[in-house]
Amino acid sequence: MNNLVITSSVTPSQQVKDIIKEFLNQFNPLESLNGGNVLLLYDERSKAYYSPCHLKAVDFCDFCDFNATIDGSEEDELYKLNRDITENESAYNTMVVDAKAGRTFEDIVVEYDKSYNPDMPLKIYGGQHRIKAIISTKSNKPDIYHGFRVYFGLTKQQKVEIATINNTSITVSNDLLDRMKEQLLGSELRDYCQEVGLLGSNQDFSDKKDSVIPTVRVARTFVVNYIKGKNSSAFDFHMPLVCKSGGIDEDYIKVREIIDWNDIDFIEAGKQFSTLHNTQRSKVTGRKGDNYAQFAGKALSLAVVASWSYAAGNYSKDKPKLSVLYSITSNLGTGEDPLNAKALSEARFKGIDPDTYRGLGARNSSDELGRMLEVFTVLVEKATEKKITKNLANAAIQSYEAKKATNNALKSLAKI
């Protein structure tokens, strides 16, 4: 380590020093050649040590781990901190062309960590598309040096912070940030979604809006509204909510502190919603007409997630009514989808809703959430035929608007 220059007044621990020494011996950065020096910098905000250096393509391509995680256990290896590779994007294709032409890429962010998957110690936190492009052209340009920011000895909190900062500096979905923050909180939400069937075994949340795989925001919205509905009273003006995206939602954090993930009714609600989602998809995709993607993925629209889970929580105290809510996936005719997405899209409050109104469940405003909840309420409480129809959807809109007007009137009277 004679060629390592520590630039800060803070001295790294012996553990960090040992990791750095191991890294230098294995990768021999350009800066250390011919008597040069490798700088060890200290980030005062994250309290982390890192070295800016350049590594030769042929030296690092076989040692890059695209599945960097917050937890190095084998159980958690599939749950990545970074984005999925999207090789069909034009930006990635441009990187490949540039790599073939000998482009030197800079500021690839990794941690040197052999605590898990030791054969690939360079855990990628940022720049996975650049590395993928470099790997694809390694045989043509093996001696090109590329710029890295290599971190050493990171804690869980530092891993998430650095991955978040790095991914915030590029165009990236809030859903990825949600996923990273959720990993820091723990695996309970993911475990729950795997148990009830919303995620497959060892599957993680989607890092962008998806009509098949739920995002963290969708899952959080489900959890929060189930508890909100369960704790509501018959006298409430019921209003679901949609969790915020891009990090941590306060409503979710409050619920997370009190929720019983093993509650039998809660688990059953999740399973029933998974059945609703899967049935909706199979029914819509399996028919010849009106098989639009937005109809197939209707159950994962935030308005539907919030309102259905609120209704499930609210009716958890009344099993006969709850069974009506759950039964919409049963006794479906040929081509019928349980949510009747076409009917929801055509529902209107005549004379009130503008021409641009896209129907129920298309937006996430408070009124839309209230209207969508009223669909399930009218279905359970009033409907003779326990199916969602266009007439039911239109009646639900009018019923919600009447309840809202009454609620607003009561608030005004209370001020007199």
For the chain, 416 residues long, give each residue's pLDDT as a single digit of tens. 567 888 877 789 999 999 999 999 999 899 988 778 899 999 988 899 999 999 999 999 999 998 888 765 544 444 566 656 555 566 778 888 899 999 999 989 999 999 889 999 999 988 888 999 999 988 888 899 999 999 999 998 898 888 877 765 555 578 888 888 898 889 999 999 999 999 999 899 998 889 999 999 999 999 999 999 999 987 788 899 999 998 778 999 999 999 999 999 999 999 999 999 999 999 999 998 899 999 999 999 999 999 999 999 999 999 999 999 999 999 898 889 999 999 999 988 876 777 778 888 888 889 999 999 999 999 999 988 899 999 999 999 999 999 999 988 888 888 88
Same domain, 410 and 274: yes
E strand spans, 337-405: none
In this structure, what DSSP letter does residue 9 have?
A: S
- Taking the C-alpha atoms of residue 37 and residue 238, their distance in angstroms, rounded to an integer, is 65
End-of-domain residue from the set 172, 200, 221: 172
Q: What angle do CA 209, 214, 372 make, to 5 degrees?
A: 85
pLDDT value of position 72 = 57
Same domain, 225 and 289: yes
Length of the chain: 416
Same domain, 158 and 185: no
Instruction: Count other C-beta atoms under 10 Å from residue 155's C-beta.
Output: 12
End-of-domain residue from the set 172, 200, 225: 172
Closest CA to 15 of 161, 114, 120: 114
pTM > 0.95: yes or no:
no
pLDDT value of position 76 = 47
Same domain, 30 and 75: yes
What are the Cα distances from residue 30, in Å, to 34, 40, 124?
Answer: 9, 14, 20
Which residues pair with residue 145 across a beta bridge?
Answer: 56
In this structure, what DSSP letter does residue 125 have?
A: E
pLDDT value of position 21 = 92
Decide: 240 and 310 in contact? Cβ < 8 Å: yes
- Taking the C-alpha atoms of residue 7 and residue 5, their distance in angstroms, rounded to an integer, is 6
Same domain, 113 and 158: yes
Same domain, 203 and 289: yes
In this structure, what DSSP letter does residue 120 have?
A: -
- Taking the C-alpha atoms of residue 308 and residue 396, their distance in angstroms, rounded to an integer, is 14
Decide: 130 and 89 in contact? Cβ < 8 Å: no
- Taking the C-alpha atoms of residue 256 and residue 298, their distance in angstroms, rounded to an integer, is 26
Q: By three-state DSSP, how is residue 332 classified?
A: coil
Same domain, 194 and 237: yes
End-of-domain residue from the set 148, 172, 196: 172
Structure tokens at 52: 């800016």
Q: Domain span at residue 326?
A: 181-414
Same domain, 214 and 151: no
Same domain, 18 and 142: yes
DSSP for 204-248?
PPPSS--SSSPPHHHHHHHHHHHHHHHT--TTS---------SS-
Q: Which amino acid, residue 230? A: K
Same domain, 23 and 126: yes
Same domain, 166 and 224: no
Domains: count for the chain: 2
Same domain, 239 and 385: yes
- Taking the C-alpha atoms of residue 347 and residue 339, their distance in angstroms, rounded to an integer, is 13
User: Which residue shows structure tokens 């919409």?
Assistant: 328
Q: By three-state DSSP, how is residue 229 classified?
A: helix
Q: By three-state DSSP, how is residue 386 classified?
A: coil
- Taking the C-alpha atoms of residue 112 and residue 84, their distance in angstroms, rounded to an integer, is 20
Structure tokens at 249: 């939602």
